[in-house]
Chain A
Amino acid sequence: MKTFFKALGNLVKKPVTTKYPFEPTFKPDDYRGLIGFEESLCIWCRRCEAVCPPGAIVFSQDMEGKQTYHYNRAVCIYCGECVRACPKEGALFQTAEPAPCALKEENINNAWNKLYPEAIESRELYAAEKKRKAAEKAAADKAAAAAKKESEDNSGATA
């Protein structure tokens, strides 16, 4: 019976819920939000990419060796593991900003599924190119050294 009267009393009370879209809801100061990136501080160690559980960070690389950071907020789980792994203070940081909704026009997941293997491939291509150049350079050095030695030998023989 007590409950019944309490329930009746509740009819005239103010609602306990917040009118969400018109009023802000509770949000702590250190909410786990979007991951920020400061390119000028990054040392390009790619440790964040290695530790990220869902694979929301990937680095692509062009033929000059310049790396680009890619981040997908729809894949990210906001765990902050990348920030903990980052050896350079301030290069990666977690903001308190919630991720905005992804729109259809953005094509966020399909574009990411295409970008991810391309980024990995671009790095492989660069590594292969670097290896080829290094091998070429080594071969050239070897040829130069051999030529030098030969000329030295020849000069020694003539002397």
Chain B
Amino acid sequence: MGKQYEIPVGAQHIALLEPLHFKFTTENEKIINTDANVYYVHRGIELACCSKFKFRQVSFVVGRVCGLCSISHTTAYSQVAEKLLKIEIPRRAKYLRMLIIELDRIHSHLLCLSHVAENSGFEALFMKTMQYREFSMELLEAVCGNRIQYDFSIVGGVSRDLKPQVADSIISRLKTFMPQLDELMDIYKHNWTLSLKNKGVGAITKQQAMELNLVGPFARAAGLAVDVRNETEDLLPWKEVGFEMVTETAGDVYSRNMIRLRELYVSIRIVNNIINGLPEGDLITETKAFPEGEATVRLEAPRGELFYYAKGNKTQVLERLKIKAPTFSNVAGMVKGFEGNEYGSAPAIIASYDPCLSCTAR
């Protein structure tokens, strides 16, 4: 047994994208134990949602939980509030929600991929991926009127309609993005330098993924077929718009990259299908009811399963709102994934987890 060293990484570190603290115990450059702390960005959003804000305003508050998956949070909250109010939203609103969730997934996955490239030491690929990502931000801005905080889902429906010329520009921009995505796929798949830092690194087996209850691309890369889009049909009709499960088997950083890239193809197909088959109708269901009872909602955010629990008491202010973000489920797996890897690989592994700490700590 060699001498053991403890290396702290974070809360501010050049390889970390989020304020997260890891304490690695290493022996001969191999990580043998990891400790994690997430307490740097707690903002008390759950408390604010059940004390200061009325239930219709909360959908704008939970959008601020996370910048990257803002639309997933607002949609999940809107759905749970609609369950409490016992209303059904128009079909057009459902399709528009799915459209924004998928556009958001495109930009979030590309961001994660670029950071994996950066943390693996491939700066040029980082810039290239970011360059290709810009179109999705512009499309989101064109649809929602803002680049990051979309404020698109509101309780009862959606706040804005999709204009025909914006729909046309989405189709044409996606067409120009397809060859770019093929190019990225080629680089991430075949580049030798990148494979040294990605193949066989940070691996998690399917059995471990099951035991640690992992979600999202992290679990799917290990071969565990979990995707809320495949499981629920009642709130958003994912199967109708051509959703298809994507899984890999290796569970390492490379297969996480592959999962994200292959999911982009699925997302693009879904966006095209939604725009071609957008039903006519209202955007919002009006109601004067107050939230009552308990309800839970699950939704597939870019990082995995998002879970909302809400309890209403027939007043304007909710009794309790619980948010479970995808990264929260993955913390246990994140700590496990480092074991047996070299310390030098840790940055690439952290980026491939795609951690979102402001979701986790709230």
Contacts and interface: CB of A to CB of B under 8 A. Distances in A.
Task: Assess A/B contact in the complex (Cβ within 8 A).
Answer: yes
Contact of B57 (A10, A53, A78): A53
Interface footprint category on B: 20 to 34
Contacts of B124: 3, 7, 10
B187 A3 contact: yes
A77 B145 contact: no
B60 A79 contact: yes
A53 B141 contact: no
B146 A78 contact: yes
B332 interface: no
Contacts of B160: 30
Nearest to A31: B145
Nearest to A94: B145
B196 to A, nearest CB: 14
A26 interface: yes
A3 B163 CA distance: 39
Interface in B126-172: 131, 138, 141-142, 144-146, 149, 151, 154, 159-160, 163, 166
Interface string A16-60: 100000000011101110000000000000000001110000000
B187 A79 contact: no
B56 interface: yes
Contacts of A27: 141
Contacts of B56: 51
B57 A32 contact: no
A134 B166 CA distance: 56
B60 A32 contact: no
A26 B141 contact: yes
A77 B60 contact: yes
B154 to A, nearest CB: 8
A79 B131 contact: no
B215 interface: no
Nearest to B144: A32
B191 interface: yes
Interface in B203-236: none
Contacts of A52: 57
A16 B127 CA distance: 10
Nearest to B192: A1
Contacts of A30: 145, 160, 163
Interface string B33-59: 000000000000000000001001100
A53 B163 CA distance: 26
B151 A79 contact: yes
Interface core residue of A26, A79, A80, A84 (most chain B CB under 10 Å): A79
Given A3-B191, A79-B159, A32 B145 contact: yes
A123 B132 CA distance: 53
Contact of A53 (B60, B125, B146): B60
A79 B146 CA distance: 10
Contacts of B60: 53, 77, 79, 81
B317 interface: no
Nearest to B122: A3
Given A28-B141, A31-B141, A51 B57 contact: yes
B124 to A, nearest CB: 5
A80 B159 contact: yes
Contact of B149 (A3, A10, A77, A81): A77
B107 to A, nearest CB: 14
A68 B244 CA distance: 55
Interface in A65-115: 77-81, 84
Contacts of A79: 60, 151, 159
Top 3 A-B residue pairs of the complex, sorted by shortest distance between their CB atoms: A32-B145, A53-B57, A79-B151
23 contacts: A3-B124, A3-B187, A16-B131, A26-B141, A27-B141, A30-B145, A30-B163, A31-B141, A31-B146, A32-B146, A32-B151, A51-B57, A53-B53, A53-B60, A77-B151, A78-B145, A78-B146, A78-B151, A79-B60, A79-B159, A80-B151, A81-B159, A84-B159
Interface of A: 3, 7, 10, 16, 26-28, 30-32, 51-53, 77-81, 84
